[in-house]
Structure 1
């Protein structure tokens, strides 16, 4: 009997004590494992390195590469072009002066970092002289081309007169305006950059109703205005024939800028003066506002000769207003003003003190009188195309007669208590004011007291009745 010790071999094999523990169990394979081929691992292949393109001459030259990088640094982030009059904001971002002003019209913040900016800070802010010197030293030709392009664009913009569609304005009359829209703020800035800052003003258009729906008095006024407007020397009759003459959007007044008060948020209060009338020949749109090519409209020089010819032609006419002279028409207007002074004296006097004194020239007086009458502005716009002071005064007198007839009808249809009320109010105003109206706040308070007393008396009369 033989014994085997640990570590000895039997029949050429060596046995260890933990031989049974190291015995591996055979793997169980599925029936189809032998039939399916074994997948090989895919090795990740790195793409070949890109071939370097041959360097351009500008990239090979360090000076050219530096010039290219410098040009990118001297480019405005708004227009993506070379700086023109560079201005540096407090946030240390630089833009073109014109680009920054256009941006501030829409948003009071830096276009890059959105930091708040003040509009008044950049009104007369000088340009960055260091950046401008670098541009002039390195890119003088590109800067000259940019300046020439901007000047050409501005010259094209000023080729036609800028037009503001807002309200009715007359020659030799002041007009106060409030600029708050971005398009008109840009227009104002461009006007102030010209030697003679001015722009045109036209009333907004209105669709005129058909003559069949108008009262007889308005139809008669339209006939007078149409007859007066036929005396103007105009062109493009075919284009103007389809447009109603009462809209007033073809004729306007050139306003000269007298004084500008800029506000902190970019708005502006502008004081203007009516210089002369114009007619729009051709119109277009530039940056949101209207631009037009206009022709000046002046009165006839030989007014008396025209009046004599019209008098001879209209000798058989039965209408008395066609044979009235300028002096007679102005006398009718003065009588109407005297009636206003007796009834509501502060109206005319406040107009004389705070608006403009009554002119003696018939041409300017016709516009002054038209601005005073309480009628629609689109009706007043009929005075603009008329090139005769006498014809304008005829139209003004027609408006006065129409107002007087309306007042007479309202007075005739009023009750006795209303008549007594009006009479007492008129007597109180005459007793308090007379022919002189207190100026300032005192006159305004006294006027309110008189109206309140008259209304209270009228209510007492109505209550007792």
Structure 2
């Protein structure tokens, strides 16, 4: 059961006076009717109880009024509320159901639910477009791109002191920000584009921000001048009208505040905020009837606006109680009369108002709320279109003496019941000056101002592809920026040090720039993407143009950890990851050809980025190859290759090969076991344990894994290792290995330690 009704019923049960007439049977029926939602029956129950009383009971009148309100019978509920008010002052919390009933009736009658809730999008979301800040809901001014790629107004993120993105909840890097808002830099490209595409609105936003600053410093006159300048440049900025209306109210300029509120209602007739601003101005000016009217429209548009509902209930409570404070009769002329006293306005006006013609704008499509008609009758202010609700308010008591006068009204003059047209309504000239475009209309870039060269990367001089923005506010293609940072940890344009940005690898795409490209330069972006995909396809061909890392010897199945610090190889590693191959060739240097004719393909298992730009790369050998031709690409070597495979044997040759294999394995195991513990530990930490014998010695195209493990740990020169790597028969490789083991065993040689290179070092 409803908590409020339950409290009322509990009151009756514990009240000694009410207990004399309230029967438990009737109370049970009332509970059942409420539970079933039959509020008409509930009202009849309370009416029958009241009819049996000599004097009306206030609490029972409130229960009846509550039930009538829930049943949608506004006029009957009003009469019952008046009966209770004549017995004792109504408190605001006792009028909640009545306010809900009026707001709901207006919402249904005027089709507001269909207009505002059909798409499930809030008022603010309706007015947002691609170029709106998601914090202030206005055109981006001084657009600042955060690490996550989302863009907001610089003043918004500075004033709020944000530590995470409002949209994706990305935690901002406190180290890079150093807790100083100044570390947020304006996005240079986006700032220039917005200033070019929306010049007037951008200038208006700057005046607006200056006005806000002056207002915070209590410089109201200067702030008002800035607001006026801003509205001259962009007259349809509803939120700026709201700010100016608030400033006018602070300065007690209620007439001007009311004009701004009325202008907002014309521009955004379905905006609760617009009606709220107008209601505040009316309330402060002393026009309570009209203020109540706007408050009720706020609730009709936004039923869950609690603060407005409480204010509405408070205003109704004051209206109901004013007659008692003015010394008017406080009781009904007849003891059994439950309707309003004779001095009250007839409740039939209320019923008529709820069945009158709906407001014209409520049936206007959302996209065209601003241009209702070009006729003179249709250009009147929204207050003159509010006769439906005005009748509702007219049925409520508000003696003229309660109203305050404007400061420019003569003292002693009798205030009129209606606001002057110049206050509530714009005259014909002001109406004609109001722009046709609604402030909730989404912005579009003028085609004549669209120039693809404005969105070219300053490094590659081509259209942005995967644009990213640095902490200093400059935008580049992601790949272009990475290549620049390979050589220098400074911004390519302003030379600001962005080491922290490099360390965190914060390459998140600038989403707003990406969306602009997709929307306005889709064909150019598609062509740019096609070129990029062709480049990636060429790079992913691991036979025609294989990237070659000139460093150390690598072998199939054997780990080969690397530290990469040269820019060309950092680029090579990134490309191998981007193409999805995750492979590149490893060769040793050659004084004549540049690199040897044989090598091993490595597969990247993991990459760690260091703050100074170095890469720690974990790789493992995959397969051997022979170089057919040498080449270069973007600073690193490439090669056309042919993969090597061991020749397979059968029959007696296979049996002899198996015996040789087992013999050499036993010899290798004996040699490794004979090593000192410190040597064995070094080998195991780098290359792992000696692999087990393979069941099928010809199962792999490169032969048994233990052979390559042994070749990697034996103390051989690189050229000797290279010659064994190039062998394509297992018999030849096993025979050579056996001779090497015999030589090492005789000389008691120590295993070689991992070598290093200027380009990369094997860990």
> So what's the TM-score if we normalise by structure 1?
0.57
RMSD: 2.8
**Structure 1 residues 323 and 146 mapped into 2: Cα distance closer, same or farther (>3 Å)?**
closer
Distance 1:372 1:304, change over 3 A: farther
Provide the aligned length of Structure 1 versus Structure 2. Answer: 292
Contact 1:170-1:274 within 8 A present in 2 as well = yes
1:179 aligns with 2:554: no
> 1:115 corresponds to which residue?
496
Change (3 A) 1:127 1:345: closer
Contact in 2 for aligned 1:303/1:388 (Cα 8 Å): no
Q: What corresponds to 2:689 in structure 1?
A: 357
Partner of 2:511: 129
CA displacement, residues 404-455 of structure 1 (integer Å, 9 cap, x when unaligned): 45569xxxxxxxxxxxxxxxxxxxxxxxxxxxxxxxxxxxxxxxxxxxxxxx
Query: What's the offset of the Cα at 1:326?
Result: 2.2
| Correspondence for 1:81 | 462
In structure 1, the residue matched to 2:735 is 394
Aligned pairs (5 A) from 1:228-243: none
Q: 2:667 aligned with 1:332, yes or no?
A: yes
- Which residue in the other structure is 1:197 paired with? 582
Report the equivalent of 2:338.
none
Residue among 302, 305, 309 paired with 2:649: 302
CA distance in 2, matches of 1:113, 1:307: 68
Of 67, 73, 86, the residue aligned with 2:450 is 67
SS of the residue corresponding to residue 325 of structure 1 reads helix
Of Structure 1 and Structure 2, the greater helix share is in: 2
Moved more, 264-273 or 188-197: 188-197
Shift of 1:398: 1.5
Q: Does 1:284 align with 2:631?
A: yes
- Which residue of 2 is the match for residue 145 of structure 1? 527
SS of residue paired to 1:260:
strand
**The residue matched to 1:164 in structure 2 has which SS?**
strand
Q: Distance in 2 between matches of 1:146 and 1:305?
A: 61
Which of 461, 474, 494 is 1:93 aligned to? 474
Specify whether residues 186 and 405 from structure 1 end up closer, same or farther in structure 2 by C-alpha distance, changes over 3 A only: same
**3-state secondary structure, aligned to 1:295:** strand
Between the aligned partners of 2:533 and 2:711, the Cα distance in structure 1 is 42
- What is the deviation of 1:256? 1.1
Partners of 2:719 and 2:560 in 1: CA distance = 17
Give distance in 2, aligned partners of 1:179 and 1:89: 24
Q: Higher strand fraction: Structure 1 or Structure 2?
A: 1
Residue from 265, 275, 292 that aligns with 2:622: 275
2:531 is paired with a residue of what secondary structure? helix
For structure 1, which runs of at least 5 residues remain unmatched after alignment?
1-61, 208-242, 312-321, 409-465
Task: Give yes or no for the alignment of 1:257 onto 2:608.
Answer: no
Could you tell me how far 1:303 is from its partner in structure 2? 5.8
| Residues 478 and 507, structure 2, Cα contact 8 Å, conserved in 1 | no
Cα distance, 1:276 vs structure 2: 1.6
Instruction: Between the two structures, name the one with larger relative contact order (CA 8 Å, sep ≥ 6).
Output: 1
State the 1:248 CA deviation: 8.2
Trace 1:378-457 onto structure 2 (pairs within 5 A).
Answer: 378-404=719-745, 406=747
Query: Which deviations, in whole Å up to 9, do the C-alpha atoms of 1:112-137 show, x marking residues without a partner?
Result: 11111135467353211111222222
Q: Tell me how far 1:197 sits from its aligned partner.
A: 1.0
1:377-399 deviations in Å (ceiling 9; x for gaps): 22111121212323212111222
Aligned-partner SS, 1:333: helix
Specify whether residues 382 and 110 from structure 1 end up closer, same or farther in structure 2 by C-alpha distance, changes over 3 A only: same
* CA-CA distance at 1:87 after TM superposition: 1.0
SS in structure 1 at match of 2:590: coil
Cα distance change of structure 1 residues 165 and 304 upon mapping to structure 2, 3 Å threshold: farther
- 3-state DSSP of counterpart to 1:395: helix
Q: Is the Cα–Cα contact under 8 Å of residues 260 and 269 in structure 1 kept in the other structure? A: yes
Q: CA deviation at 1:336?
A: 3.0
Tell whether 2:718 aligns with 1:377: yes
The answer on whether the counterparts of 1:75 and 1:83 sit within 8 Å (CA) in structure 2 is: yes
What is the distance in 1 between the residues matched to 2:686 and 2:489? 36
2:549 corresponds to which of 157, 160, 164: 164
Q: What is the rounded CA distance, in whole Å, between the counterparts of 1:388 and 1:116 in structure 2?
A: 55
TM-score by length of 2: 0.36
Contact preservation (8 Å) 2:460, 2:480? yes
Gap change, CA 1:169 and 1:154, over 3 Å in 2: same
> Structure 1, residues 73-97: CA drift from partner, whole Å, max 9, x if none?
2111111221111111111111111
Q: Which of 693, 703, 708 is 1:367 aligned to?
A: 708
Partner of 2:472, secondary structure, is coil
1:167 partner SS? coil
Q: Distance in 2 between matches of 1:294 and 1:280?
A: 5
Cα separation, 1, equivalents of 2:481 and 2:722: 39
Deviation at residue 294 of structure 1 after TM alignment: 2.2
User: 2:560 is paired with a residue of what secondary structure?
Assistant: strand
Name the SS of the counterpart of 2:586 in structure 1: strand
Cα distance 1:399–1:134, how it changes in 2: closer, same or farther (>3 A)?
same
Q: Work out the CA distance in 2 between the residues paired with 1:330 and 1:305.
A: 20
Q: 2:745, 2:653 → 1: CA distance?
A: 30
1:337-362 deviation per Cα after TM superposition (whole angstroms, max 9, x unaligned):
34x33xx3432344235521111236
**Cα gap change, 1:248 to 1:188, in 2 (>3 Å):** closer
Task: Verify the 8 A CA contact 1:199 1:254 in the aligned structure 2.
Answer: yes
Tell me if structure 2 keeps the 8 A contact 1:254–1:274: yes
Unaligned runs of 5+ in 2: 1-444, 698-703, 750-763
